[in-house]
Amino acid sequence: KLDAKALRYMTNEDFRVLTAVETGSRNHEIVPVTLITDIAKLRAGGVKKYLGDLAKRNLVSRMANAKYDGYRLTYGGYDYLALKTLSKRDSVVSVGNQIGVGKESDIYVVAGSDGNQCVLKLHRLGRLSFRNVKNKRDYLRRKQSPSWTYMSKLSAMKEYAFMQVLYEHGFPVPKPIDHNRHCVVMELIDAFPLRQIDDVKDPGKLYSELMDLIVRLAQHGLIHCDFNEFNILVGDDGKPILIDFPQMVSTSHPNAEEYFNRDVECIRVFFKRRFQYESYLYPKFRKDTKR
Ligand code: ADP
């Protein structure tokens, strides 16, 4: 859980020590206290006290390793560092309620620079079993097991980059606002996941808009790969908005056709089951995706 209060009770020294733990984690799974002291450039006695305080607030945790005394950054500590950066830039002024728990994220409503409401998405990749995540994510084809901070940060960077490109090309996605570490700040969409919608005015219209979206993505060289009722929000105006695209691939991927057809099939099956809507019209990979 995101501890917004922790933001307020942090001295400069606490912050310096916490940042030192993060810096040390680049090459130490458990960061030795001696290294933290060097990086923070504070008295050794002082550093021990600050580390103790940070550990009490769950921002770091002490790892009694046989070889040396060390600490590790926790989710809370990483959240804190990201929020501190985002609030310095005025992208997040205050944190509100949690509105969602995704498969691999926590979602909060936050206030942005001019008091407007935005969404803060904190990516949390270490939460699933590693085996599960490994198959899905191309960046995990590395020899050593990557840290959760690394995986979560990469996931947020990727989401932000895709969101920017899609938004700039006029695709219906939330407007990207800022990102830092494992966090993405984006526009708050006033709509519900298709999953929660039992009734739409014109299922045929929504169906063809969704199929058009799949085709238009492919015309831009992209396949969503997880195009389903969880990742599509539908507002009162009946327009779909795509909110999540963690595994998009290129249309030149060897399995592109299979992935494309699976996205299409997913929508067909859902519309049949939920709205008893069936159409013999649906896009096919080769024919419909040429520019
Ligand atoms: P995950 O990738 O972890 O599954 P999602 O990005 O799908 O997380 O978000 C989880 C839930 O949070 C969504 O089902 C939706 O209800 C809500 N949500 C996410 N982003 C937004 C947004 N920009 N505006 C409004 N609600 C959102």
pLDDT of residue 284: 92
> Is residue 291 very low, low, confident or very high in pLDDT (cuts 50, 70, 90)?
low
pLDDT in tens, 212-256: 999 999 999 999 999 999 999 999 999 999 999 989 999 999 999
Instruction: Report whether residue 175 contacts ligand 1, using a CB cutoff of 6 Å.
Output: no
Query: How close is the Cα of 105 to the center of ligand 1, in Å?
Result: 8
Beta bridge partners of 178: 185
The structure tokens listed for 237 are: 């105006």
pLDDT at position 124 over 80: yes
Q: Report which residue type is found at 288.
A: D
Predicted TM-score of the model (pTM): 0.89
Residue closest by Cα to atom 1 of ligand 1: 102
Instruction: Report whether residue 243 contacts ligand 1, using a CB cutoff of 6 Å.
Output: yes
* Mean pLDDT, residues 176-188 taken together: 97
Mean residue pLDDT across the chain: 89
Among 5-14, 17-26, 33-42, 138-147, which stretch is predicted with the lowest mean pLDDT? 138-147
pLDDT at position 288 over 90: no
Query: How close is the Cα of 103 to the center of ligand 1, in Å?
Result: 10
> Is residue 1 very low, low, confident or very high in pLDDT (cuts 50, 70, 90)?
low
CA 161 to mean position of chain CA atoms: 11
Q: What is the DSSP letter of 221?
A: T
Residue 233: what are its φ and ψ, rounded to 5°?
A: -100, 145
Question: Residues 4, 6, 8, 14: is their CA dihedral positive or negative?
Answer: negative
pLDDT of residue 5: 62
> Is residue 100 very low, low, confident or very high in pLDDT (cuts 50, 70, 90)?
confident
* Mean pLDDT, residues 6-19 taken together: 83
pLDDT in tens, 132-167: 444 544 444 443 456 888 899 999 999 999 999 999
Q: Is 79 a catalytic residue?
A: no
End-to-end CA gap in the chain:
45
Catalytic residue (one of 14, 106, 178, 226): 226
pLDDT of residue 188: 97
pLDDT at position 289 over 50: yes
pLDDT of residue 130: 46
Q: Report which residue type is found at 52.
A: G
